[in-house]
């Protein structure tokens, strides 16, 4: 341990070494550990009016976790069907958005990574980045407009005679999936692009020379090589989709809540921070478990992701 530190200071010098340690320490302790610990602490407390906080009634409890699973005491169902349903649907929808993004982005990232620069590629990258100059709210409302009942898409489909009456993209959640997918496209493309760019073209040609059709080249050569990029892209898109708030709020259909909206309601309207915290922590842990088990399934090591 001491050796590692000495080595670290030898390499970076005392000034830079201390600076790095302080910054990393601040990052880990103040920005990652402390806030989550306080949330964790919150989630195990009773929902009390402020005067009673710290009083004798302020003890640890698992009532909020119980509430998520079983519902309010004395409810007519034995499980909290509503919240659990929303929870499940959110995760499935986030998974769906992730897969959608992966399917869209992999070919694009492959194309970008294997074409040697060129004007067209630069324009394409710029086109992918520009949407991120526009703020989230504006983007979401703009989507609401174009996907609306009298929005551009319905108008075009109607005038082309492809549909008889306008499709309700909002109610069908199509606008939401499109909005979320669109919002995180870059987070999917760049990690994959990064790895594929470093893939030796000769390997692809060697496989082709040995008679492999394109799909086998991707299956056996490119995808295994791009796996770290694919998994970091998928992790980010999944985590962020499951945790998104603005897009579901604005683009979600009236009948479909996102789990984050329920959390937000507990924190905000309900003023019930402990319950909100408990719900948020369940969401976080579930997402982590899903990501880790996916990585296990596809044999990706956590260390590979940083590559």
Partner 1 sequence: MSKGVDVNLENVWIRFGEFVAVREANVNIKGGEFFSFLGPSGCGKTTILRAVSGFLEPSDGTIKIGGKDMAGIGPNKRPTALIFQNLALFPLMKVWENITFSLEVQGVGKADRRKRADELLEMIALSDQGEKLPSELSGGQKQRVAIARALCAEPDVLLLDEPLSALDLKLRQHMRTELREIQQRVGITFIYITHDQGEALTMSDKVAVMRAGIIDQIADGKSVYDDPATPFVASFVGENNVFRGKVKSIDGDMALIDTNRSGTLLARMASAAKGTLKVGDNAMMFIRPEACKIATDTSPAHNRLTAKVKNEEFEGQIYNVFLEGSEGKEIKMSLVNIGQQRLSARGSDLTLEYAPEQAVALPAGDLASE
- The residue among 6 and 220 lying less far from partner 1, judged by its C-beta, is 220
- The residue among 102 and 212 lying less far from partner 1, judged by its C-beta, is 212
- The residue among 203 and 293 lying less far from partner 1, judged by its C-beta, is 203
Q: Shortest approach of partner 1 to residue 205 CB, angstroms?
A: 6
* Residues sharing a CB contact under 8 Å with residue 295, sequence separation 6 or more, in sequence order: 231, 235, 301, 302
* Contacting positions for partner 1 (CB under 8 A): 200, 202-203, 205-213, 216, 220-221, 224-225
Q: Shortest approach of partner 1 to residue 299 CB, angstroms?
A: 11
- The residue among 221 and 244 lying less far from partner 1, judged by its C-beta, is 221
- The residue among 27 and 219 lying less far from partner 1, judged by its C-beta, is 219
- The residue among 38 and 198 lying less far from partner 1, judged by its C-beta, is 198
Query: Is the Cβ–Cβ distance between 46 and 61 less than 8 Å?
Result: yes
Q: Shortest approach of partner 1 to residue 199 CB, angstroms?
A: 10
Q: Shortest approach of partner 1 to residue 29 CB, angstroms?
A: 38
Q: Shortest approach of partner 1 to residue 209 CB, angstroms?
A: 5
Q: Shortest approach of partner 1 to residue 216 CB, angstroms?
A: 6
């Amino acid at each position: 341990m001491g050796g590692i530190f000495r080595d670290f200071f030898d390499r970076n010098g005392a000034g830079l070494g201390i600076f790095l340690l302080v910054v990393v320490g601040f990052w880990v302790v103040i920005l990652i550990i402390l806030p989550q610990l306080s949330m964790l602490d919150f989630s195990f407390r009773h929902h009390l009016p402020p005067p009673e906080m710290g009083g004798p009634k302020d003890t640890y409890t698992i009532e909020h976790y119980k509430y998520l699973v079983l519902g309010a005491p004395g409810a007519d169902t034995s499980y909290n069907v509503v919240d659990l349903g929303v929870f499940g649907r959110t995760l499935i929808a986030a998974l769906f958005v992730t897969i959608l993004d992966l399917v869209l982005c992999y070919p694009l990232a492959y194309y970008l990574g294997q074409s040697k620069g060129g004007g067209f590629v630069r324009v394409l990258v710029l086109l992918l980045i520009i949407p991120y100059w526009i703020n989230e709210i504006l983007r979401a409302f703009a989507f609401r407009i174009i996907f609306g009942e009298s929005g551009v898409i319905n108008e075009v489909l109607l005038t082309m005679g492809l549909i008889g009456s306008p499709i309700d993209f909002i109610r069908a959640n199509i606008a939401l999936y499109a909005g979320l997918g669109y919002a995180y496209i870059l987070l999917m493309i760049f990690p994959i692009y990064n790895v594929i760019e470093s893939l030796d073209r000769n390997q692809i040609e060697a496989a082709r020379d040995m008679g492999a059709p394109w799909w086998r080249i991707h299956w056996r050569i490119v995808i295994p090589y791009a796996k770290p990029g694919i998994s970091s892209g998928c992790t980010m898109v999944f985590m962020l989709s499951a945790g998104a708030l603005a897009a579901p709020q604005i683009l979600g259909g009236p009948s479909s809540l996102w789990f984050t909206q329920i959390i937000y309601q507990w924190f905000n309207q309900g003023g019930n921070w402990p319950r909100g915290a408990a719900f948020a922590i369940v969401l976080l842990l579930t997402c982590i478990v899903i990501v880790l088990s996916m990585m296990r399934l596809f044999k990706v090591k956590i260390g590979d992701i940083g590559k």
